[in-house]
Amino acid sequence: MKSLGRYPKRYRQLKEIEERTTEAENRIAATEHTCETVDARVQELENQIRSMAEHIDDLENRGRRKNVRVIGLPEDAEGTNPTKFFESWIPDLLGLETKAGRVKIERAHRTLAPKPGPNQRPRPVLIRFHNFTDKQRVLDASRRSGTVKYKESTIMFFQDLSAAVLRKRKGFDEVKKRLRDTGAKYMMLYPATLKIIHGGEATTPPLKQWLLLTLSDKVHLGFSQVQELHVDHNALGGLNIVNKKCDDL
pLDDT per residue as tens digits for the range 169-228: 888 788 778 777 777 777 788 888 777 765 544 333 444 555 555 544 444 333 344 445
Those residues whose C-beta lies under 8 Å from the C-beta of residue 55, and which sit 6 or more positions away, are: none
Those residues whose C-beta lies under 8 Å from the C-beta of residue 227, and which sit 6 or more positions away, are: 198, 200, 245, 246, 247
Homologous superfamily of 164-216 in CATH?
Answer: L1 transposable element, C-terminal domain (3.30.250.20)
- Residue-level pLDDT at 38: 87
- Residue-level pLDDT at 209: 52
pLDDT per residue as tens digits for the range 29-86: 888 888 888 888 999 999 999 999 999 999 999 999 999 999 999 999 999 999 999 9
Domain ranges of the chain: 11-62, 65-160, 164-216
Spatial distance between the Cα atoms of 28 and 13, rounded to a whole number of angstroms: 22
pLDDT per residue as tens digits for the range 228-249: 555 555 543 444 444 344 333 2
CATH topology of domain 65-160: Alpha-Beta Plaits (3.30.70)
